[in-house]
Amino acid sequence: MRTSEIRRRFLGFFAERGHTLVPSAPLPTPDPTLLFVNAGMVPFKPYLTGEAQAPWPRATSVQKCVRTLDIEEVGRTTRHGSFFQMNGNFSFGDYFKEEAIAFAWELSTAPVTDGGYGLDPDRIWVTVHHTDDEARTLWRRISGLPDERIVARGDEDNFWSMGVPGPCGPCSELYYDRGPALGRAGGPAVDEDRYMEFWNLVFMQYERGEGPGKSGYPILGELPRRNIDTGMGLERMATLLQGVDNLYEIDETRPVLERAAELAGVRYGAGTEADVRLRVVADHVRTALMLLADGTVPGNEGRGYVLRRILRRSIRSMRQLGYQDPVLPDLLVIARDCMAPSYPEVAESYGRSTDQAAGEEDTFRSTLRQGTTVLDTAVAKVKAAGGRQLPGAQAFLLHDTHGFPIDLTLEMAAEHGVEVDREGFTALMREQRERARADARARKSGGTSDTSALRPVFDEYGPTDWRAWDTLTTDSRVLALLGPSGPVPVAREGEIVTAVLDRTPFYAESGGQDSDAGRLSGTSAEAEVLDVQRPLPGLVAHQVRVTSGELAVGATVTAVVDPEWRLGARQAHSGTHVLHAALRQILGPDALQSGSYNRPGHLRLDFPWRGALSATARSEIEEAANQALRRDLPVGVRWMALPEAKELGALALFEETYGEKVRVVEIGGAWSRELCGGTHVEHAAQIGVLALTSESSVGTGMRRLEAVVGVEGFAYLARERDLVTRIAEQLQAPRAELPDRIAAMVGRLKATDRENQRLRQQATRARAAALAAEAQDAAGVLVVTATTDDGAEGARAFAIAVRDLLPAEHPGVVVIGAESGGGAVLVAAVNSVGRAAGQDASALVKRLLNGRGGGSPELAQGGGLPAAQLSETLRSVLGIVADT
């Protein structure tokens, strides 16, 4: 049975039993604790924890998931895959244990002809929590399983929680006996390779308190509404139903594996190490395809780094198999054909995905050539010194300078039998990141990210009454105030705190739109709103600075959004949609927004594209955008079901989570149709003007457009006009002739520079020849000392020039000094005959500079010499050389 059919049967089975079909959420998740969705329940987390009301009593989904914690185990075991699909059925206070067990047993064992999976009931084992007598009784009654195949296990295996206070409960797992050829008899407690887990039923019925790990925490009591969360591993079920040994051999991955083996000229099954590498390639190529299709872009941080690591591991695995040519485009197309029947978006976005992957492969192949040489040299030095550990500073240099990821350094060093000082590397990385993020932390210092402190507020008062779409003013009550150390009853003048209101007109930063600015005004306090965030689903938190009086919990305030700020924000957000549509109109559908940010008057938009846009393309994009403003296209908002929105062609941002009903913003109808929760103008002409200000690279295969709109747009164009006017006046030329005039001037300047360079070189050669002819004799060695005004680089070039003009048959030493950076540098050069006579440029520089500087015996350099000592130091060279 093909994997797509297993998927279809699962969804159909639960749809027939009253479950709402919920599409898979994109892999990137807005949950700040996760990079990617890593379990089927993640999109339903707010409903299961009670943070939000579920829109349906029961639901079913097949959720795309990525886990990379065990990435080193990929290919080495039968159970680890970085990408997998989790079939799930969920109940939100509706049915409970009996129905969940009955559903799982029926679908697993029903004949294939009746829509089931046809698993042999006599080969199914189940586990239950050792305290869950109810589940054991239900399994006996519903399935008829004997007691010996209902195994009791402890908290580590059969009790679920999220690791923090909140819902928890026992679980029951289904295992299938794959036969004696794969391991020992005795059930899953004995061998989980032979007995493969394929379904887990979680019975959320309790609330847990604080405590570490998977056990030892207190159970506070029963939940008011009991939930069901189940997960059936799609790849594991495919492994069972397709009769293969592991998940790398199912129909969605085996074709990639076989093509990789064909390219590398190896046979799968012929050797353990080759098999592991082929499995890594099969798994990672599919994972990369799914991440790329969901908008993740290779990068150096967060999600981008995970994707980059996966791509590079697959490329390097092919090189280890002996295949040196570019490989990703060849393998990705096969993965696309395997996955498109279940996920049409991988075919729709394939052009963009393969371009990004190819760009990453090109970059990595270059990185490998450079970094491998550096790493091999460093490892050789460690071994020559009798060491077994590569310094952390060396690993950091490989990462920071050569783009060599630490994971690759660890792998390659291990292949040489050398460890890496991981702690030293991590400390250097931490220092770098802390420096980079210092400003961001300062800007967000009001504590809006402290979700643990805000949780009790949400539990007591529920979600914020959010009015940003409807009004700029609300009468509000202060529900809570949080300072740097936690809740406070009052905030005084000058203090910055986080304020939670019962209702608010302020837009919280999301969807690429910056938060609103404005004020809170009350009878006893005035406060400036600095930032607005959603630290918990449904809860809006305001970072405010009290400007006068005292702001107290329970106080009534008027919350007012700055109308000019909001107008600018609406213009920028609508302008982003217009620019996105214009971009796709000119470049085609692959130019799909992968990130954006807009604030009043300003916007930026990132999109996948290989190579810089031409001036013509930029002009056409800007013109298409402004034509939409000139036509005053209508801007409308509609609510509809997600499938209907997708059918209309609405574009969804990859990192957003959408409910049963979605908000679709249209500009000119189908011309721009996107799912969006931001604030917008009523018609396109309100944007005013859109002026592109820059186009740049933000990573391999990724470009960024920046633009200004509204008043800022007109101001930018006015500045450009004034600049052109001043240039025209200075050149005394009509504006239309400026490009030709400036090009001619630049041409003349370049010609003059070339002539000046030629004359300088002539002068340098003449001076070098004169100095070489006047070389002094020091015990049979010709010595030249001199200064130059051309800085350190000029001194280096001058020293080499003089050395090369000395008589080839005589030993020669040249020392050139130059003032640089408030001090002086020295460059020493020794010819080959001088080296044979025992002269050493590096040793000479160190002697002249009291141990500083260095280089090779032929050419060395050092600095830190006070400029006043330069002449005296050069006079000492003759005596030092004579004594050598």
Contact status, residue 862 vs residue 848, Cβ threshold 8 Å: yes
Which pair of tokens denotes residue 21? 């079909």
Beta strands 812-820 and 781-787 are: parallel
Taking alpha carbons only, the member of 364, 234, 375 closest to residue 308 is 364
Q: What are phi and psi of 532, to 5 degrees?
A: -135, 125
- The secondary element (H helix, E strand) that includes residue 466 is strand 465-466
Q: Is 130 annotated as a binding residue?
A: no
d(CA 166, CA 50): 9
Q: What are phi and psi of 832, to 5 degrees?
A: -65, -35
Q: What are phi and psi of 505, to 5 degrees?
A: -95, 0
Please list the helix, strand and coil fractions of the chain in percent, rounded to the nearest 5, in that order.
45, 25, 30
Residue with tokens 């495919």: 238
Contact status, residue 522 vs residue 477, Cβ threshold 8 Å: no
Taking alpha carbons only, the member of 59, 110, 119, 53 closest to residue 88 is 59
d(CA 808, CA 264): 53
Q: What are phi and psi of 508, to 5 degrees?
A: -85, 140
d(CA 573, CA 599): 8
Task: Please count the CA atoms within 13 angstroms of the CA of 55 that sit on its side-chain side.
Answer: 12
Q: Is 680 annotated as a binding residue?
A: yes
User: What letter would DSSP give residue 48?
Assistant: H
- Residue 388: which residues within 8 A CB-CB, separation 6 or more? 382, 417, 418, 419
- Residue 332: which residues within 8 A CB-CB, separation 6 or more? 285, 288, 289, 350, 353, 354, 357
Contact status, residue 648 vs residue 664, Cβ threshold 8 Å: yes
Beta strands 219-233 and 83-92 are: antiparallel
CB under 8 Å, gap of 24 or more: what pairs does 507-511 form? Answer: 507/468, 507/532, 507/561, 507/566, 507/569, 507/678, 507/679, 508/466, 508/468, 508/532, 508/533, 508/534, 508/540, 508/541, 509/533, 509/534, 510/534, 510/677, 510/678, 511/653, 511/656, 511/676, 511/677, 511/678
Cα 735–Cα 737–Cα 738 angle in degrees, nearest 5: 65
d(CA 288, CA 328): 10
3-class secondary-structure state, position 64: strand
Contact status, residue 827 vs residue 842, Cβ threshold 8 Å: no
CA 422 to chain centre: 22
Beta strands 419-420 and 389-390 are: parallel
d(CA 840, CA 837): 9
DSSP per-residue letters across 841-882: HHHHHHHHTTT--EE-SSEEEEEEEEGGGHHHHHHTHHHHHH
- Residue 100: which residues within 8 A CB-CB, separation 6 or more? 89, 91, 201, 203, 228, 230
Q: Is 602 annotated as a binding residue?
A: no
User: What letter would DSSP give residue 884?
Assistant: -
Q: Is 19 annotated as a binding residue?
A: no
Which pair of tokens denotes residue 341? 């029947």
Which pair of tokens denotes residue 463? 């979600």
Going through 616-732 in order, the beta strands assigned E by DSSP cover 635-641, 661-667, 672-675, 690-697, 702-709
Annotated binding-site members: 573, 577, 676, 680
Annotated binding-site members for Zn(2+): 573, 577, 676, 680
